[in-house]
Amino acid sequence: MMDEKRAIAALGALAQETRLALSRLLVTCGAAGLPAGVIAERLGVQPSSLSFHLSQLAHAGLITQRRLSRQLIYSAEYGTMNALLGYLTENCCGRDAVCAPVCNPAIGGTGATAKNTAA
C-alpha cells in the first residue's frame, strides 16, 4: 500500500507535461519498455532534457531502468502505478469495497474494475 509521502512524490513527478506524456507512453509499451532514444524521438524531447524527466519519474518509483547491451531501456513500474491509483481511490465506494482499477500488462491491457467484476 502507498503512503501519503510516496503518493505526493508520484503525483509531483507526474505534474509536468513531458513527464506525464512519458509515463503514458511507457504504460502502452508494457514490460518491454523503450530505449531512451526512441522515447526522445516519439516525444520530440532533447536527450539532455529527457534524462532529467526520466530521473524524476524513476526517483518517484514510476518507471524502471535496465541496461540492454549499450541501451538503457525504460519501463513503467506498474506496481507503483497501481498503488497510486489504489491510494487515490481507496475510499471511493466505501471503506471495505475494492473498486480501484488495476493495470497488468502481463494479461494484456487493464485489469478488472468494479463495473466489469460485478458480473
Q: Does pLDDT of 94 surpass 70?
A: no
- At which residue does the C-alpha cell 481507496 appear? 90
pLDDT at 110 over 60: no
Question: Domains in the chain, ordered, with CATH?
Answer: 1-119 (1.10.10.10)
Highest mean pLDDT among 23-27, 104-108, 114-118: 23-27
Q: Is the confidence at residue 117, as pLDDT, over 50?
A: no
Q: What digits encode the pLDDT tens for the residues 42-61?
A: 999 999 999 999 999 999 99
Answer whether 54's CB lies under 8 Å from 4's CB: no
Q: What angle do CA 111, 112, 113 make, to 5 degrees?
A: 125
Sign of CA dihedral 73, 78, 84, 85: positive
Give 46's DSSP letter: -
pLDDT, residue 96, reads: 62
Mean pLDDT of 3-12: 96
Is the pLDDT confidence value at 109 over 60? no
Give residue 81's pLDDT.
93
